[in-house]
């Protein structure tokens, strides 16, 4: 009788996951996704009240969850938190900032704010989790939430695009460096996702029409559209995937 291959497991039982930017929106959804797949999750962000509420909701559903108050842009504090609470088998870095406007009007302080979190913070957070895994002799999966704008340009988004293109660059370099340690590094690249932060954009009929025209599936994204992708990248199902950007963009970048 033919021996059929078995699909690698999407189950994350026994894995410890750190999810930053988890107090709302995409980060909250991805924390729920990993918890529902069996991971023990540590949710992190700056807003403690929201983290407490999320942790209580996860525990109430039978999941294992704790929280850390963390500002990813504060590199020294973040690295100390990772050392004290790690090692983490999985990282999902969903902390990010967007300050949109014409490139001709970009203020240096706005540029620095975006880069401090989206690039510098993400870089050193990813490095810190990788170091913890290397020191422990463990494999892992590190995921930075990037954007479709890491692969294209966008009006009024020069600084944001620059930060996310840079994330793709260090992701590839770290994937090469950490590959021998069986530590995978990838990005998750969403299109426009319906959250509290994007609500003002979607409330503008002209902007909404433009977005829906660019997304070939004809609708904006929901946080649920990202949850399966995050579990895939975190799990053994993607054990041969590293150094790449996983686009969830409804076909935006296909044309």
Catalytic residues: 160
What string of DSSP letters covers 202-252?
A: HTSHHHHHHHHHHSTTSS-B-THHHHHHHHHHHSGGGTT--S-EEEESTTG
With vertex at residue 187, the alpha carbon angle to CA 185 and CA 193, rounded to the nearest 5 degrees, is 155
Say if CB 37 and CB 231 are below 8 A apart. yes
Q: Give the single-character DSSP code of 193.
A: B
In the chain, % helix, strand, coil (3-state, to 5) comes to 50, 15, 35
Q: Which two tokens stand for residue 64?
A: 């294992």
Q: Kindly give, in sequence order, each residue whose CB lies less than 8 Å from that of residue 89, ignoring residues fewer than 6 positions away.
A: 15, 16, 17, 39, 133, 138, 139, 140, 141
d(CA 139, CA 183): 5
């Amino acid at each position: 009788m033919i021996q059929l291959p078995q699909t690698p497991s999407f189950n994350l039982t026994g894995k410890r996951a750190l999810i930053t930017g988890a107090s709302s929106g995409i980060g909250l959804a991805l924390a729920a996704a990993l918890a529902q797949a069996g991971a023990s999750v540590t949710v992190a962000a700056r807003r403690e009240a929201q983290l407490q509420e999320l942790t209580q909701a996860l525990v109430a559903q039978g999941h294992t969850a704790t929280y850390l108050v963390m500002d990813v842009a504060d590199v020294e504090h973040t690295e100390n938190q990772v050392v004290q609470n790690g090692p983490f088998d999985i990282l999902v870095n969903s902390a990010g900032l967007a300050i949109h406007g014409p490139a001709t009007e970009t203020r240096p302080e706005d540029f620095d704010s975006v880069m401090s979190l989206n690039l510098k913070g993400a870089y050193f957070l990813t490095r810190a989790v990788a170091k913890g895994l290397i020191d422990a002799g463990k494999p892992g999966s590190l995921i930075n939430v990037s954007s479709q704008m890491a692969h294209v340009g966008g009006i009024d988004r020069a600084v944001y695009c620059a930060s996310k293109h840079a994330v793709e660059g260090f992701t590839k370099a770290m994937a090469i460096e950490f590959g021998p340690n069986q530590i995978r590094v990838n990005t998750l690249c969403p299109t426009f996702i319906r959250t509290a932060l994007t609500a003002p954009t979607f409330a503008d009929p002209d902007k909404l029409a433009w977005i829906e025209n660019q997304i070939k599936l004809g609708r904006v994204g929901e946080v649920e559209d990202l949850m399966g992708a995050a579990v895939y990248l975190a799990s053994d199902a993607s054990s041969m995937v590293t150094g790449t950007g996983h686009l969830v963009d409804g076909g935006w970048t296909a044309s």
